[in-house]
Amino acid sequence: MVVVASGGGGQVPVVDLSRKRSQVSDLIVKACQEYGFFKVVNHGVPRDIIARMEKEGLDFFRRPATEKEITGSVTPFGYGNKNIGFNGDVGEVEYLLLHTNSLSVSQASHAISSDPSNFSSVVNDYIEAVRDLACEILDLMAEGLRVPDKSVFSNLIRDVDSDSLVRLNHYPSGSGRDIKDHRVRVGFGEHSDPQILTLLRSNGVAGLQISVQDGVWVPVPPDPSSFCVNVGDALQALTNGRFSSVRHRAMTSNRTRMSMVYFGAPPLQAWISPLPEMVTAERPSLYRPFTWAEFKKTAYSLRLGDSRLEHFKTH
Ligand code: GA4
């Protein structure tokens, strides 16, 4: 693992997926234990698939506000502006949030694009490519953790009923006045992702920050050729706390940033509980079993920055 110094003096782990498999899996486990976050390079997602998805996103956000608002009618998925979740969280961000199942993508594409069949095929290609990458990373994690069934994590997000999402976040550049005002510079406030694994790709504009310890924010240097990988709450529970879901946030700047984020999630009815191999007499189960549906319901009843796993602790 190469640890790269970031602009702000902090460091983020970088994993080169073209290296020897056993080394890669050990480095991934180390990064997930220490940070819950790493960057992958040489990930194999074709550049044209990323570029086509980026173009669809930019074309959409460039449209007049009134046209974009109409897309909001595909609720709970569709266009959002500033409002995040349903409990009063706001940020300097507009976004498109889509479920990854192909029926959902196809339905949304009619509201989002003037060429729905092209939009669907671009989005489906992107989803398939990042899902494959997420599954590969999850298999490497299982191998590094020496879990006998190396597909134990990836099976959850490969399931046809997986509740995975894809999100395009567009952070407009702030005006000079905004930049001096710290309160309006938060694009997407501090939180952890509820799902299993998140893969984020952004354009070459800085903004993403990860929390390495309470109150210490490390900027992640922008790198459009890599993917950022976040451990989500569900993976923290599955690993009985060996991996920690990373708290992160996005800040705006004087340049427009767009990120494309895939959230790998289990099916709604799937049970999440610490894997037996992760539970020992010295390290008893930290979390009670819960279904993904139950966890999601809790997540949506709380604020963005709240800790959701707290509600599922055994003691
Ligand atoms: C954070 C990760 C994903 O973007 C998301 C977000 C969701 C939303 O924007 O609707 C949530 C947020 C996210 C966590 C807590 C709840 C749900 C907003 C919110 C206050 C789509 C997700 O799955 O959880």
The rounded Å distance from CA 23 to ligand 1 centre is 33
Residue nearest to atom 12 of ligand 1 (CA): 304
pLDDT at residue 184 in the model: 44
- Cα(304) to ligand 1 centroid in Å equals 7
**Who lines ligand 1 at CB under 6 A?**
84-85, 87, 89, 97, 165, 167, 191, 193-194, 263, 299-300, 303-304
Give pTM, 2 decimals: 0.95
Can you tell me the distance from the alpha carbon of 129 to that of 123, in angstroms, rounded to the nearest whole number? 10
Q: Which pLDDT belongs to residue 9?
A: 45
Mutate to test the pocket of ligand 1, among 165, 268, 304 (most ligand atoms within 8 A of CB): 304
* ipTM attached to this prediction: 0.99
What's the 127 CA to ligand 1 centre distance in angstroms?
A: 19
pLDDT at 215: 82
Which H or E run contains 157? Answer: helix 154-158
Per-position pLDDT tens, the chain of length 315: 666 544 444 589 999 999 999 999 999 999 999 999 999 999 999 999 999 999 999 999 999 999 998 877 656 789 999 999 999 999 999 999 999 999 989 988 998 999 999 999 999 999 999 999 999 999 999 999 999 999 999 999 999 999 999 999 999 987 555 555 544 489 999 999 999 999 999 999 999 999 988 889 999 999 999 999 999 999 999 999 999 999 999 999 999 999 999 999 999 999 999 999 999 999 999 999 999 999 999 999 999 999 999 999 998
Q: Give the active site residue among 131, 201, 247, 257.
A: 257
φ and ψ at residue 243, rounded to 5 degrees: -100, 145
Active site residue 158: no
Q: What Å distances lie between residue 132 and 137, 148, 243, 272, CA to CA?
A: 9, 21, 21, 21
Q: Report phi then psi at 204, rounded to 5.
A: -80, 30
